[in-house]
Amino acid sequence: MTTLTRSEVLGRVQEVLVDALGVDDDEVSENATLTDDLGAESIDFLDIVFRLEKSFEIKISKGELFPDDILSNPDFVVDGNLTEQGVNELKRSMPHADFGDFESNPDVSKVPGLFTVKTIVNYVETKLSAA
Amino acid sequence: MRWVWIDKFVAFESGSHGSAVKNVSLAEEQLENHFPGYPVMPPSLMIEGMAQTAGILVGEARGFGENVILAKIRSARIDRYAVPGDQIRYDAKIESIDKAAAATSGTISINGEPAGTVDLMFSHVNKSMQAAGLPDHNFVFTEQFMQLFHSIKDPATAG
């Protein structure tokens, strides 16, 4: 496959999100969060994975882009907050995400905010460079 | 009324694509009020017809081991009305499938003329991931639907 520039990857990711979520092009900025800003629901995450696989001709394993078993693990979540172990596990499984100041207040309800358009672009770039 | 919106399969390629037809009849209840004096097949029921065609295709691809639930209409466009006497054909194709879900694309034709497209997503729900309140048996692939599936596999025994 021809190497894609970051802006080409971003363009295709935006196209995927416009199709999957029924949003307008200009809503899909790099910092937009999938849930709060773009209105994604749980089934949409699977839709996005399927569309990314087609668009970039890649294979995305379960939980690779959107980890789904960390928040249900009692070792990782106590009283609505991620434990240190949980934060480390989340960071390990999401090297493509920008955690910002998440660690200072690792509230579980803030986890969806880690899934931004930029997170997906970073993930796809890493995936393509490893291919 | 039986909640079955396809009459039979006319093509079936396991794990890939399948086609079903429905003959629209003036005797059907939904046409009585849709619309009074102007009976046309409701497009929402054409989406359901595609969901049944594609759902059986997806269910068969995984050995009917799970309930296959329509989770999302990715896109739907119906360009023409079907009226009594018409035959609607649903051609469905599996685009992606894994343990959790499947995506399908589909085209609709009426009497052989293109009439729309319907792309869907299905969730696979098995006992271990059963949401609260759902029955623990396979409530999607009932005998009625299995008869439809067998109609293409073995026409002589179809009900």
**Banded pLDDT at A20 (limits 50, 70, 90):** very high
Classify residue B159: in a domain, yes or no: no
Q: What is the mean pLDDT of residues A8-33?
A: 96
Q: Report whether CATH 1.10.1200.10 matches the domain A1-60+115-131.
A: yes
Residue B144 has pLDDT above 80, yes or no: no
Domain range summary for chain A, segments of one domain joined by +:
1-60+115-131, 67-113
Check if B103 contacts A (Cβ < 8 Å). Answer: yes
Domain-embedded: residue B121: yes
Domain for residue B156, yes or no?
no
Give the pLDDT confidence of A23-67 residue by residue, as tens digits.
999 999 999 999 999 999 989 999 999 999 999 999 999 888 988
Token duo for residue A3: 């190497």
Q: Which residue range is the domain that position B20 belongs to? A: 8-148
Pull the structure tokens for residue B71: 């989770």
Residue of B17, B34, B124, B150 with catalytic role? B34
CATH number, domain with residue B93: 3.10.129.10
Q: What is the mean pLDDT of residues B13-18?
A: 97
Radius of gyration of chain B measured on its C-alpha atoms: 16
In a domain, B56, yes or no: yes
For a pLDDT cut of 90, what percent of chain B falls above it?
72
The yes-or-no verdict on residue B112 having pLDDT over 90 is: yes
Whether B124 is a known active-site residue: answer no
**Is B153 part of a structural domain of the chain?**
no
pLDDT at B6 over 50: yes
Residue of A15, A41, A42, A50 to mutate when probing chain B, most B C-beta within 10 A? A50
Please confirm whether the linkage preceding B141 is cis (ω < 30° from 0): no
Domain for residue B3, yes or no?
A: no
C-alpha dihedral over A31, A33, A38, A40, to 10 degrees?
150
Question: Is residue B158 one of the residues assigned to a domain?
Answer: no
CA distances from B66 to A36, B10, B72 (A): 32, 24, 17
The DSSP output letter for B141 is: S
Rounded CA gap, B123 and B47, in Å? Answer: 17
What is the total count of domains within chain B?
1
Q: Is B71 on the interface with A (CB under 8 A)?
A: yes
**Token reading at A30:** 């790099």
Distance CA B5, CA A130 (A): 46
Q: How far apart, in whole angstroms, are the C-alpha atoms of residue B67 and residue A119?
A: 32
The type of residue at B32 is E
Residues from chain A contacting residue B71 (CB–CB below 8 Å)? 43
Report whether pLDDT(B159) > 50: no
Mean pLDDT of chain A: 92
